[in-house]
C-alpha cells in the first residue's frame, strides 16, 4: 500500500480522453456527414440497417454459389465415373494377373486329377475377369496416354496367354520340365512386362484421379473467387455500416468491460471515450461520472484504512504489511529493526493544555520522526495514542538501530512552540529497539520492541533500550 495519501485531482473527461480511449480522428470526406448521422442513430436502427444490407449480399452470393456448386458436383461425378471406376477395374485386372500366375505355376507342379482341374478352372476365371475389366476400361473415356498404356497391357497379356497355353499343353503331354522351362524362363520377361504395364496403367489412373481432385479444387477456388467478387461488389455499404456500428457499439462496450474489470481490481483511473450521442455514448458519460465519484471515495477510504487521520502516517496495519515485506525481502548480510517510541507525560499535557494542544504536539512529533528516518525504505508509523513506530531496513550492523534510536530521541525531545500557547513544550519519550532475528515472526518482533520500550520507561524514561536475542533488555 502507498506510504503517502494519494491526492489526485481528476479533471473533466472529454471526448477521446482517458487511458482506454485513443484520440479519434475527425471523420472527413464526402461520406463524413452520412457516417456521423448513422453513428448517432439508435442502436436498433443501426443493427437493422446492417442486417438488411448483409442479408441482400448473402442472398445474392448464395444464388451464385448454388449454381456453381451444382456445376462442380456434375464435374466431380464425371471424374468419378471415368477415373475412379477405371482405377477399380484396372486394380482388379492387375490382381487377376497375379492370381493367374500362381494358378499356372501350381497347375504345372500338381499331378493330374482334382487339383489340376481346379487350377485350370481358376485360370479360366481369371481370364474372364481380366477380359471383363479390359472391356470396361475400353468403354471409359480414358486419357490418350492411359489408353496407350492399356493397349500395351492387352498386347503383352495376349503374349503371356500364348506362352501359358503352350506350357499347359506341355504339362498335359506329360513333359513337366518343358512346361516349367516355358513359364520360368521363356515367359518370365513377358510376365514382368505385363505387370509393369498394368502398374503403368494404374499410375496413370491414380494421376488422373489426383488431377481430377486438383481440377475440382481449382474449380472450387474459381467459384470462391466469383462469390468473393460478388461479395466485394455489394459489400461497400455493408462494410461502412459495420465499421461504424463496431466503433459506436462494440468498441465502447468492450472498453466498458475493460474499465469495469479494472474497477473490480481496484483501478478507478480508467475512463471511457465519449464519441457519440446514442445510448452507448450516454452510458459512457454516466459511467465516467460514476467512476470519478467512486475514485474519490475509494482514495479517501484507502487512505483512512492504512493511515492515521491526525498525522497522515501509516497505521499499525500498514506497518505490519511493510514489516512482512521487509522480512521476506531481507538480505542475509543485512538487518532490520523496529523502534517503538512512546511519549512520556503526554496525558498531563492533554489535561493541562487541552486536546487541541495535544494534537498539535502529536503532529509535530510525527513530522520529526518522519524527517529523522534514513530514507524511503524506512517507515514511520503512528500505532495509536502517543505511540509511534519506525521500521529500519538494510542495516549493516545490529548496533546501527540503537544509534538511529538515539538520534530520533534527541530530535523528538527538542523544545517546541505550539500555536496559542505562551510557553514551550518539552516533549519526552522512551524508545524500545528490537532487531529482527532469523525465523522471528512479526508478532514476536513487535512484542520484543514493546518489552524494550517498557524497559526504557522503567529505567527512568527519556532513554533507549534494546531487546537482545536472549529476551533480556540491554
**Catalytically active residues, by annotation:** 386
Q: Whole-angstrom Cα distance, residue 300 to residue 302?
A: 5
Q: Whole-angstrom Cα distance, residue 91 to residue 33?
A: 70
* DSSP E strand boundaries for 168-235: none
Residue 383: name the closest of 328, 431, 319, 434 by CA.
319
What the block records as the C-alpha cell of 435 is 532487531
- How many CB atoms sit inside 10 A of residue 133's CB? 20
By residue count, the chain amounts to 474
The residue written with cell numbers 492533554 in the block is: 350
**CA 409 to centroid of chain Cα atoms:** 56
DSSP structure class, residue 312 = -
Residues 6+ apart with CB under 8 A from 427: 343, 346, 361, 365, 412, 413, 416
Residue 26: name the closest of 18, 36, 38 by CA.
36
CB 223 within 8 A of CB 65: yes
Amino acid at each position: 500500500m502507498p506510504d503517502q495519501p494519494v491526492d489526485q485531482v481528476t479533471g473533466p473527461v472529454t471526448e477521446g480522453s482517458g487511458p482506454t480511449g485513443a484520440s479519434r480522428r475527425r471523420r472527413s470526406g464526402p461520406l463524413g456527414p452520412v457516417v456521423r448521422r448513422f453513428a448517432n442513430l439508435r442502436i436498433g436502427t443501426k443493427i437493422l440497417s446492417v442486417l438488411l444490407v448483409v442479408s441482400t449480399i448473402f442472398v445474392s452470393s448464395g444464388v451464385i454459389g448454388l449454381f456453381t456448386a451444382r456445376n462442380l458436383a456434375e464435374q466431380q461425378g464425371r471424374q468419378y465415373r471415368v477415373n475412379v471406376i477405371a482405377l477399380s477395374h484396372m486394380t482388379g485386372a492387375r490382381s487377376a494377373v497375379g492370381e493367374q500366375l500362381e494358378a499356372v505355376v501350381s497347375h504345372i507342379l500338381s499331378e493330374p486329377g482334382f487339383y489340376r482341374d481346379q487350377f485350370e478352372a481358376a485360370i479360366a476365371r481369371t481370364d474372364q475377369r481380366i477380359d471383363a475389366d479390359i472391356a470396361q476400361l475400353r468403354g471409359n473415356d480414358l486419357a490418350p496416354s492411359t489408353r496407350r498404356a492399356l493397349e500395351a497391357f492387352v498386347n503383352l497379356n495376349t503374349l503371356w496367354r500364348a506362352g501359358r497355353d503352350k506350357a499347359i499343353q506341355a504339362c498335359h503331354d506329360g513333359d513337366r520340365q518343358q512346361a516349367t522351362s516355358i513359364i520360368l524362363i521363356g515367359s518370365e520377361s513377358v510376365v514382368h512386362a505385363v505387370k509393369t504395364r498394368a502398374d503403368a496403367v494404374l499410375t496413370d489412373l491414380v494421376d488422373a484421379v489426383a488431377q481430377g481432385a486438383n481440377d475440382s479444387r481449382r474449380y472450387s477456388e474459381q467459384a470462391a473467387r466469383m462469390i468473393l467478387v460478388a461479395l466485394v461488389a455489394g459489400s461497400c455499404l455493408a462494410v461502412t455500416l459495420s465499421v461504424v456500428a463496431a466503433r459506436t457499439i462494440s468498441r465502447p462496450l468492450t472498453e466498458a468491460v475493460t474499465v469495469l474489470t479494472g474497477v473490480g481490481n481496484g483501478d478507478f483511473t480508467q475512463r471511457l471515450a465519449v464519441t457519440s450521442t446514442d445510448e452507448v455514448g450516454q452510458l459512457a458519460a454516466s459511467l465516467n461520472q460514476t467512476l470519478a465519484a467512486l475514485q474519490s471515495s475509494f482514495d479517501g477510504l484507502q487512505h483512512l484504512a492504512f493511515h492515521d487521520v491526525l498525522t497522515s502516517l501509516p497505521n499499525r496495519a500498514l506497518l505490519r504489511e511493510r514489516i512482512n515485506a521487509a522480512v521476506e525481502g531481507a538480505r542475509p548480510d543485512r538487518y532490520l529493526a523496529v523502534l517503538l517510541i512512546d511519549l512520556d507525560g503526554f496525558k498531563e499535557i492533554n489535561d493541562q493544555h487541552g486536546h487541541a494542544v495535544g494534537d498539535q504536539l502529536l503532529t509535530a512529533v510525527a513530522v520529526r520522526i518522519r524527517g529523522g528516518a534514513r530514507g524511503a525504505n524506512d517507515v514511520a508509523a503512528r500505532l495509536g495514542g502517543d505511540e509511534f513506530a519506525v521500521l529500519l531496513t538494510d542495516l549493516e550492523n545490529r548496533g546501527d538501530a540503537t544509534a538511529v534510536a538515539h538520534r530520533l530521541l534527541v530530535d523528538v525531545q527538542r523544545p517546541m512552540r505550539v500555536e496559542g500557547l505562551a510557553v514551550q513544550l518539552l516533549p519526552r519519550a522512551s524508545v524500545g529497539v528490537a532487531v529482527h532475528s532469523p525465523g522471528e515472526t512479526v508478532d514476536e518482533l513487535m512484542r520484543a520492541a514493546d518489552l524494550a520500550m517498557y524497559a526504557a520507561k522503567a529505567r527512568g524514561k527519556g532513554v533507549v533500550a534494546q531487546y537482545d536475542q536472549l529476551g533480556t533488555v540491554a
